Amino acid sequence: MFKRSLHLFKLWGIPVQVHISWLVILVLMTWSFATGFYSESYPGIFSTTQLWIMAFFASLFLFLSILLHEFSHSLVAKKNGLPIGKITLFMFGGVAHMENEVEDPVVELKMASAGPAMTLVLAGLFFLLSLLFRSIRALSVLFESLVYINIVIFLFNMVPGFPLDGGRILRAIIWYRKKNIVRATDIASRIGKYFALFLIGLGLFSLIFYGNFIGGIWLMIIGTFLRQAAIRSYGAILYHQVMKRLDISDLVRKNVVTVGLTMDLQTLMDEYFEKYHSYFFPVVSDGRMLGIVTIGDVKKIDPEKRPELEVKDVINTNLTDYVIGLSSSPARVFHLINARKYESYPVVNNQGSLLGVITRSDFEEAIRVMMTLSN
């Protein structure tokens, strides 16, 4: 669901994408503005064509408002030296990918406040525009509705539940005072989860008791999305904290069986894979890690040809696919192991010598234990 995004453009080095759900939302928005909000609030004043044009521009300006909101988050992040991947617009709002590693609650506070502040500025701006175009009814109504829209965006985002902006602000404050990011995230994302449940309940209520089909479903979708995001971001923070404290070298299993380049594949099969029950063996020459030979690669070779071929004929030398360096960042190690491509991963020192392997199950167990400890 989160993968289908279209690249729109790049502004100040920040790529802006739109999730395909947003295109559907744009149509739905236009439709509901035209047939609902505008025609009900101003009956008989505008022609159908006028209503649809107004509705279209309202949706477009809403899009722009959200974009500017997200942009302020990203710009503040960039100013504080944080990497901001991209901005993706989807569903009710946008997501500036700011789950990155904020190390300082003050930076988090500034970053989280920037969006709502921009939304307030926009509300004021649209208010001025509505005054300015008072004599043109369609325009003043359009701008006036954008004032309300931005106020709603502001209020929604300021709900103090993580990962909404209000929740980030709350988290930053608790984090600053208690000096504990895990505790702070736990509290803020718990409020986020309750708020999400409240939205789902509200949606269900208005669906059943008021027959408000679109509005009800809409609230339930937003609630569900928010709930998942709250759970996910808490998990992400925990992982991040745990990964920072995890010392890779503690997990290295030494005494690994290795093979040389010139061993023939028949011997490898009979005396290594059969005997040690390992999926792969590191290939080492003069202490240096050259690659790995996997059981899958050997199995691909016709059994009759195995005695004539050697390890060097089937060696996998794409070290970046599986080798962990002692100086690898925790994020890389986590990413590598979580890709679940191999059962274990060779670890090398800065000179490229093999130190041992880390198995996925050891790693996962360590993470689970440390998460229980930090909880």
Q: What residues make contact with Zn ion under the rule CB under 5 A?
A: 115, 165
Considering beta carbons, is residue 163 or 203 the nearer one to Zn ion?
163
Considering beta carbons, is residue 158 or 242 the nearer one to Zn ion?
158
Shortest separation between residue 94's beta carbon and Zn ion, angstroms: 8
Shortest separation between residue 319's beta carbon and Zn ion, angstroms: 41
Ramachandran quadrant class, 291 (left: phi over 0; alpha: psi -120 to 50; beta: rest): left
Partner residues linked to 87 by β-bridges: 16, 96
Shortest separation between residue 157's beta carbon and Zn ion, angstroms: 5
Considering beta carbons, is residue 188 or 269 the nearer one to Zn ion?
188
Strands (E), the chain: 5-11, 14-19, 87-90, 93-96, 280-285, 288-294, 324-325, 344-348, 354-359
- Sequence letter at residue 263: M
Considering beta carbons, is residue 107 or 263 the nearer one to Zn ion?
107
Shortest separation between residue 142's beta carbon and Zn ion, angstroms: 24
Partner residues linked to 9 by β-bridges: 16
| 157 burial via Cβ count (<10 Å: 0-12, 13-18, 19+) | buried
Considering beta carbons, is residue 58 or 114 the nearer one to Zn ion?
114
Considering beta carbons, is residue 58 or 76 the nearer one to Zn ion?
76
Which residue of this chain has its Cβ atom nearest to Zn ion in the complex? Answer: 115
Alpha-carbon distance of 295 to 240, in angstroms, equals 34
Shortest separation between residue 103's beta carbon and Zn ion, angstroms: 20
Shortest separation between residue 5's beta carbon and Zn ion, angstroms: 18
Give the DSSP H/E element, type plus range, for residue 214.
helix 213-245
SS3 11: strand
Shortest separation between residue 155's beta carbon and Zn ion, angstroms: 12
Considering beta carbons, is residue 125 or 217 the nearer one to Zn ion?
125
Helix and strand numbers (H, E) in the chain are 14, 9
Kindly report each contact of residues 68-72 with a partner whose C-beta sits within 8 Å and lies 24 or more positions away, as own/partner: 68/118, 68/122, 69/93, 69/94, 69/115, 69/116, 69/118, 69/119, 69/122, 69/153, 69/157, 70/94, 70/95, 70/96, 70/115, 71/11, 71/14, 71/96, 71/118, 72/114, 72/115, 72/117, 72/118
Considering beta carbons, is residue 133 or 225 the nearer one to Zn ion?
225
Shortest separation between residue 234's beta carbon and Zn ion, angstroms: 18
